[in-house]
Each structure stands twice: as C-alpha cells, then as structure tokens.
Amino acid sequence: MPHSPLIRMFNCSINLNASEEEAVRALPMRVKILGGKQDLVREHESPAQCCVVLEGYACTYRDMRDGQRQIVSFHVPGDMPDLHSLHLAEVHNSIGSIGPLTVGMINNSDLHRICREFPRVAAALWRLTLIDASIYKEWISNVGARDARTRAAHLFCEVHFRQASIGRVRDNAFDWPVTQIDLGNALGLSVVHVHRTLKNLREAGLIDYERGVLHIPDINALMEAGDFDAGYLHIRTASERAAMEAH
C-alpha cells in the first residue's frame, strides 16, 4: 500500500471523492529506500520529480559556508518536502534522510496533470505548502526568540503532534532516530549544549528516551515548558474536515 500515506495526507485537507482517490492511487510512484544520512535532493538541483515520505524521517537543511548545517524542518510520513520543484526553477535546500527512510518519487509532470484535472487536489497541495510555510514561521520564532530549553521542548512537541496526527504515537512514545548532532543543527545549538539541555529536560521528567524512542510522559507539561500551541500545525480532526466539506 505505498500510496496510503499520500491518500491520508490528501484526506486531511479535502476528503477525496471516489474519482479523485482513484486518480491519486493511479499516480506512478517509484518507491525508494534509503539508509541513514543520505541525500535525496541536493542544493542547486532542478529535480523533475517530487517525493512523499512514506516511512521514517527526512529533513530539509542547508549547509553554510563555514561548515555549519541548519536543519529547517523535519518531515514525517505523508509530507511532501519538495513541492517547490513544481513551480520553482531551482532548489535552494538539500533534503536528506535521518535514519532509515522510505519515500515515493512522483514525476512533476504527473502531478501537474492531476492538478489540472482535479482542482481540489491542486488546492490540497497548495494547502500543504501553506502549512509548511506556517511551520517555517514558527521555527523562525523558535530559533530566534526562545532559550535553549524552551526551544528544544517546543520542537519535541511539534514532532509529537505531527506523529500523533498520523497515528504513530503509542503509549506516549514515538520513533526518534535523530541524534544530538542533528538536534543541534535543527535548534541552532552546539552539540554540547544540546546534551546539557536534554539532560535538563530529562531530569525535570519532561522527556525520556532510549534506543531511538522518545517518550513524553506528560505532553501538557512539555507544551507548557515549550511555549507550545499546536494551532500553527493546522491539524484537522475528522469532524472538522466533515464540517469543512459541508460548507
């Protein structure tokens, strides 16, 4: 069922009707499996295809001239991290895997076709890019205006809610193959300080992790610590989607 994360993603926006769903399922998709730390897209390329994350974590990042790396977003199943290649000539960020990653590659031409044929599908993809932009804005606020502890707590909350929305949180825990180095690159902190910050959060009982699994005993406490409000993720419940459709 390689298309199912894609279908679920669309259904978060528009509740696909039968013919739309059929068209999405018919999209030619090449499944690609990567190990940890491999690149899917490199800066300054002009890819002719888009990817959908099917399983695992991807991240969008940028390497600075001084060798630092800045991760600007993590991607979970259902995300399409490089939709910009549909309308922009050149990519200015790299996309890579964090831990084992499965993605589906879809040709831009096929996506353009389905967008022309099914305007609601186009709107759903547009909506997806708007949500991405919303997440980027929050990430700017996080990196620009919060101290290390709050910043880390906020990021964990974000990942928690995104994983929860696709049913990947069990017993308050989810997969977390992200190293402290990655985390430093995402939070704009040095590895040493990331470690101290995590230690702090762990000692406060806000998080707990072992062998690639992150456990959040009390999400409300972590949200408080992370100055977190999930609204910017624009996650819709089933009833909200139904209400939307009715209108």
Partner DNA sequence: CGAGCTTTTGAACGCAGTCAACAATTGTGG
Partner DNA sequence: CCACAATTGTTGACTGCGTTCAAAAGCTCG
The token duo for 120 is 């609601």
Matching residue, tokens 């013919």: 19
The token duo for 74 is 């993590």
Question: Does the protein bind DNA through residue 198 (CB under 7 A)?
Answer: yes
Smallest distance from a second copy to CB 174, Å: 23
Question: Does the protein bind DNA through residue 196 (CB under 7 A)?
Answer: yes
Neighbours of 68 (CB within 10 A): 11
80-139 binders of a second copy (CB under 8 A): 83-84, 86-90, 92-93, 116, 119, 122-123, 126-127, 129-134, 136-139
- Helix or strand holding residue 18 (H, E): helix 18-25
Report the residue from 70, 134, 188, 234 that binds DNA according to the rule CB under 7 A.
188
Question: Does the protein bind DNA through residue 192 (CB under 7 A)?
Answer: yes
Asked whether the CA dihedral 155, 190, 60, 198 is positive or negative, the reply is negative
Neighbours of 30 (CB within 10 A): 12
Report helix angle 148-165 to 191-203, nearest 10: 70
- Residue 18: contacted member of a second copy, DNA, none (CB under 5 to 8 Å, by partner type): none
Smallest distance from DNA to CB 187, Å: 8
Going through the chain in order, the beta strands assigned E by DSSP cover: 30-34, 39-41, 49-63, 69-75, 94-107, 173-175, 208-210, 213-215
Report the residue from 112, 113, 199, 215 that binds DNA according to the rule CB under 7 A.
199
Non-local CB neighbours of 171 within 8 Å, separated by 6+ positions: 215
Question: Does the protein bind DNA through residue 211 (CB under 7 A)?
Answer: yes
Smallest distance from a second copy to CB 173, Å: 27
The token duo for 150 is 């709050």
Matching residue, tokens 């949200």: 223
Question: Does the protein bind a second copy through residue 79 (CB under 8 A)?
Answer: no
Question: Does the protein bind a second copy through residue 60 (CB under 8 A)?
Answer: yes
Report the residue from 179, 208, 221, 233 that binds DNA according to the rule CB under 7 A.
179
Positions touching DNA (CB under 7 A) are 36-37, 147-149, 179-181, 188-193, 195-196, 198-199, 211
Positions touching a second copy (CB under 8 A) are 13, 44, 60, 62, 64-65, 68-70, 72-73, 83-84, 86-90, 92-93, 116, 119, 122-123, 126-127, 129-134, 136-141, 143-146, 187-188, 227, 229, 231-232, 234, 240
